[in-house]
């Protein structure tokens, strides 16, 4: 047995280690608890602001030297968690960080299902840079169908391939789709193929993970946020599922910006293209109840959260239920 020395890989490795996973979930718990104060209040901006503030504060306790590459971003004009911001306590590994304090701000404001707080980390330089192309076509399936489908194939054919891989009739295949006017032709194709549609209002990170884990849906299809796709890819890697995406610029200016950055707009991006590292982490905490997680609950002097934590290197998925003393969270839960 070799005794570790100052020159061994055990001491010199800059890759994130397994202990990081549970540090991340503390951050998403904080953001979820802060955001949950505003569930059903009709004010998505205040809810998001509370979650951002809590996430940023707790993130500084995480042992990492992180750079936000997917943050509140250009669309939100955020003062915190913006792209390029340094986060963490600076003592740990160099990592890319992708965050969404509330994936589903409208869901939170209206009290609807499937709002999450999410946080993903991967080795530095491994997360895809979409060059401000905010939307992409996406397809997500679980591990049983991962090797059979292709975004370039017709919708009907992909659904048939999923049905065959899962050993079920097409009529029992359920496809998760964001409820948007742009998806009306897609929905028609899915129904004409004989499959079922399950709509989600917002929050396609939750939809992507549900599809990858077979949690109530068998696949996700449609156009959604590129940042959310990259965050979801970190989770999908741990499940053995598959996410494919293709950039979808919303106008000529965005298209030209993508071309100038060297993007091939016909290219189908795989999970490994979106996150090249095989050592990435994903954590999410439910804000409102959903297919993936239960939302924040209040039980007397306790606040109860449910979270999921994933690590791709080991393929480990953990469900974490935690109880928090309400009095310790007054800063985040008081009006």
Q: What is the pLDDT of residues 200-256, one digit of tens each?
A: 998 889 999 999 999 899 999 999 999 999 999 999 999 999 999 999 999 999 999
pTM of structure: 0.89
**Does pLDDT of 79 surpass 80?**
no
| pLDDT for the residue 18 | 62
Average pLDDT, the chain: 90
Question: Which carries the bigger pLDDT value, residue 98 or residue 74?
Answer: 98
Nearest alpha carbon to residue 284 among 164, 121, 116, 135: 116
**Does pLDDT of 276 surpass 90?**
yes
CA pair distance 143, 239, nearest whole angstrom: 7
| pLDDT for the residue 323 | 96
**Does pLDDT of 6 surpass 70?**
no
| CA-to-CA dists, residue 29 to 75, 162, 307, angstroms | 25, 34, 7
**Does pLDDT of 142 surpass 50?**
yes
Say which DSSP state 182 is in: G
Q: Do residues 51 and 101 lie in contact, with contact meaning Cβ atoms separated by under 8 Å?
A: yes
**Does pLDDT of 317 surpass 60?**
yes
Mean pLDDT, residues 25-54:
95
| pLDDT for the residue 73 | 57
| pLDDT for the residue 263 | 92
């Amino acid at each position: 047995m070799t005794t570790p020395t100052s020159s061994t890989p055990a001491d010199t490795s800059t890759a994130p280690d397994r202990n990081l996973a549970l540090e991340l979930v503390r951050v998403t718990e904080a953001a979820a608890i802060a955001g949950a104060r505003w569930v059903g209040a009709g004010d998505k901006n205040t809810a998001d602001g509370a979650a951002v503030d809590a996430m940023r504060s707790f993130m500084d306790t995480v042992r990492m030297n992180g750079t936000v590459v997917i943050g509140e971003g250009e669309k939100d004009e955020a003062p915190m968690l913006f792209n390029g911001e340094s986060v963490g306590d600076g003592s740990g590994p160099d990592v890319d960080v992708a965050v969404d304090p509330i994936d589903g701000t409208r869901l939170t404001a209206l009290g609807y299902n499937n709002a999450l707080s999410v946080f993903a980390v991967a080795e530095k330089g491994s997360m895809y840079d979409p060059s401000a192309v905010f939307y992409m076509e996406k397809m997500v399936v679980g591990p049983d169908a991962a090797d059979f489908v292709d975004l370039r194939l017709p919708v009907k054919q992909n659904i048939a391939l999923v049905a065959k891989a899962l050993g079920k009739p097409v009529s029992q295949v359920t496809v998760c789709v964001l409820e948007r006017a742009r998806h009306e032709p897609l929905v028609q194709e899915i129904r004409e193929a004989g499959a079922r549609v399950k709509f989600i209002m917002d929050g396609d990170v939750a939809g992507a993970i549900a599809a990858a884990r077979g949690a109530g849906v068998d696949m996700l299809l449609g156009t959604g946020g590129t940042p959310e796709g990259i965050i979801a890819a970190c989770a999908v890697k741990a499940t053995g599922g598959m996410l494919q995406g293709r950039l979808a610029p919303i106008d000529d200016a965005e298209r030209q910006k993508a071309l100038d950055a060297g993007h091939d707009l016909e290219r189908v991006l795989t999970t490994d293209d979106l996150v090249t590292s095989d050592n990435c982490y994903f954590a999410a905490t439910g804000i409102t109840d959903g297919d993936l997680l239960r939302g924040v609950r209040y039980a007397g002097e306790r606040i109860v959260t449910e979270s999921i934590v994933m690590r791709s290197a080991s393929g480990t998925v953990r469900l974490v239920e935690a109880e928090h003393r309400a009095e310790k969270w007054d800063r985040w839960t008081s009006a």
